[in-house]
Amino acid sequence: CEETQTSTPKELWRSLPKLYDYDDYDECKLRNPGYFYCVVKAHIVENASSELWQRISYYSSDPRHYRRDILELGVCLDQCTSNATEEQRNLTELMKRCTEHRVWNLYQLNSTALILNCVSDEKLDRSSDPLDRVFNWVALAILSLVIMSTIFDVKEHTFKESLIIRSFSLAQNLKKLGSLNARSRQDLLFLDGARVLTMLVILLCHASIPMIRNPLKNPEQLEQQFESWWFPIAMAGNTYTVQLFFVIGGVVLAVNFLDHVKTHPQFQLAYLLDRIVNRLIRIVPVYAFVILFQASWYRSLKDGPIADRYKDHCQENWWTNLLFVNNYINTSEPCSQFTWYLGADFQLFLVGTSIMMVLWRSPKLLNKVITVMVAFALIVPTAFIYIYKLDATVMMIVRFVTEEIRTLEYYLRVYVTFESNAGNYFFGMIVGIVYHRLSEKAKKMQDLKGFKLILLAATAFFLAMNGLTVLLPRDQLPERSLQLAIFGSLLKCSWGLLVSCLVLYLALSPNCLFGSFLQHPSMLVASKLSYCVYVVQYTVVYGIYRNVTTPLMNGGFNTVLFTSAILFLAIFAGLLLHLCVEVPCMTLLKPALELKSSKANLTIQRNKKSEKQLPRTKVLNG
């Protein structure tokens, strides 16, 4: 035992059993027309007299190491028949006995086998069902409309001015994609570029996550990454990058609302319903189309024994997505996992709009409301982390991550919930209100003498909080920790505070080089695709990994290969969705929305009796 503890990590893991030991699936499939292939977990039985067991036990005690007492084997039936007796012809029992026999031959250790899943020609050949046919008809209808509309549009047909033709014509939609729409807030164009960069970072992170759960030929290299001093900082970045979306959403909500109040000072409760309808029309068509694909043909995007570990649950839980409650209901068995953000964002949109409605009605409450929002941002995450005895942030504890990140308590209680993400959304709203007040007074950054000091303080706070993640415990603590709860809340808030300060700085600094980069025309065009890319990314990421049939080498080449493929396919799929679903639906429904809006404006003008509402606007806008 002392010799085990004095061995270097490299010497130690080289002497351990192979974590993933797979027969060649493709060879098994080609060699045997009626092939049968199973993935089996072998739990090694404790044997204190075995020196190898002592090394296994010592190595597996580290939370950042894989458990080497649980081996995963891929077993082809023809490798087992020589050991089979007539009584063992039940295939699953045969696979168990074969696995236990193989482990004993290799390591002289007893084990108990558990079948994870088995594949054969019969299992992979899934027959089509009604959902498949529904998707086929919907996709065929869209494709037919796009082709016919494009032909009529290009050929200058008499039907060219028809709303259907203008909606589905590729020529028209490509022009819309490439056009730079006139916007009332030119100084906020950089938010489009920020949205694009955030989307790319999130996509790159999501492209690498399945590698952790995929069988690896060199899992020790991943363990070495987990041991690196910089890894907790990288994990914080991976965890909190999505907070940029929440901050941007809060800024846009507040600015758009205050612009509306400026031109429509009379309070109208119907505005809330109008905003909800507009938002649903914009996001639901693409969302529903992707969910329909997930519930139907996504199940066929697989080959081999590894695919089943990347299951989706759209057939059962699609309704949680369309009701935007998928971050609360059936969260551990989600439909299109990454779309939890859409549920949380929609809930924050409803709450944020309601808050702005209160301020529209009672602008004198502004300071009190801001105080409550800041207190909510700091207290609620602290309370949740403390009450549920959670980690301060997502910890790279391998025994949890190799199962499902979406089953982690931190993920379920803090990461995806509305109340734990509201803080940074509120920070964005506060910055939007401050920006609107300053822009009304034509203030620029040079007029705010103390703001650069605030920005430096926010940057220092951000760096300090993320740097301190290297000191977090290596494993979960058995008891509640108020210090960790406070740290977890401040860590999340540090992202929102810094991004909020940067947004205000860039909005009031028109000549900033970074701001100019973010609002480059290419960024403005790419931002139009960001929503579709976000929605379809789950399909692309796991559609690729579901076709991996053998353990992979964890290294730079495979990382670049998989990431490049995912990036290309996600952008391409997002482009198709934008041109063929998102833009057509918006074009079709836009006239009805504009008619409704014009009628509402006319009613407001007719009912406007005095200028009594103007002081309220002044109080809210400064």
* pTM for the model: 0.91
Contact 602, 346 (CB under 8 A): no
CA-to-CA dists, residue 90 to 94, 95, 122, 125, angstroms: 6, 9, 17, 22
Among 60-69, 133-142, 174-183, 548-557, the range scoring the smallest mean pLDDT is: 174-183
Residue type, 445: M
Report residue 595's pLDDT band, with 50, 70 and 90 as the boundaries: low
Torsion of CA 95, 97, 103, 108, to 10 degrees: -170
Rounded CA separation 423/503 (Å): 16
Instruction: Return the H-helix or E-strand segment holding 498.
Output: helix 482-507
Cα dist from 194 to 77, 355, 572, whole Å: 52, 25, 20
- What is the domain partition of the chain in residue ranges? 2-124, 130-175, 191-542+551-607
CA atoms within 13 A on the CB side of 252: 19
Residue 603 to residue 72: CA distance in whole angstroms: 69
Over residues 180-205, the pLDDT tens digits come to: 765 667 889 999 999 999 999 999 99
- pLDDT for the residue 442: 77
DSSP collapsed to 3 states, 70-117: EEEEEEEHHHCHHHCCHHHCCHHHHHHHHHHHHHHHHHCCCEEEEEEE
Q: Is the dihedral of CA 262, 263, 269, 271 positive or negative?
A: negative
pLDDT score of 600 more than 70: no
Per-residue pLDDT of 333-351, as tens digits, reads 999 999 999 999 999 999 9
Q: Give the pLDDT of residue 189.
A: 93
- Cβ distance 299 to 502 under 8 Å? no
Burial (CB count within 10 angstroms: exposed 0-12, middle 13-18, buried 19+), residue 62: middle
- Check whether 584 has a pLDDT greater than 60: yes
> In this model, does residue 603 exceed pLDDT 80?
no
According to DSSP, the residues that pair with 111 across neighbouring strands are: 44
Least confident of 117-131, 345-359, 555-569: 117-131
Q: Which of 67-81, 134-148, 596-610 has the highest mean pLDDT?
A: 134-148
| 446 phi and psi angles, rounded to 5 deg | -65, -15
User: Bridge-partner residues for 73, per DSSP?
Assistant: 21, 40
What CA–CA distances, in Å, run from 16 to 48, 54, 213?
16, 10, 20
Question: What is the mean pLDDT of the segment spanning 441-460?
Answer: 88
Task: Render pLDDT for 228-282 as a digit per residue (tens, 0 to 9).
Answer: 889 889 989 999 999 999 999 999 999 999 999 988 888 888 888 989 999 999 9
Q: Would you state the pLDDT for residue 51?
A: 93
How much is the pLDDT for 301?
A: 87
Give yes or no for residue 390 having a pLDDT over 80.
yes
CA distance 213 to 475: 19
Sheet of strand 20-22, all strands in order from the earlier edge strand to the far edge: 20-22, 70-76, 36-44, 111-120
Residues 17-65: pLDDT tens digits? 999 999 999 999 998 888 899 999 999 999 999 999 999 999 988 888 8
Q: What value does the mean pLDDT of the chain take? A: 88
pLDDT: which is higher, 207 or 158? 207
Buried b (16+ CB within 10 A) or exposed e, 535-569: bbbbbbbbbbbbebbbbbebeeeebeebbeebbeb
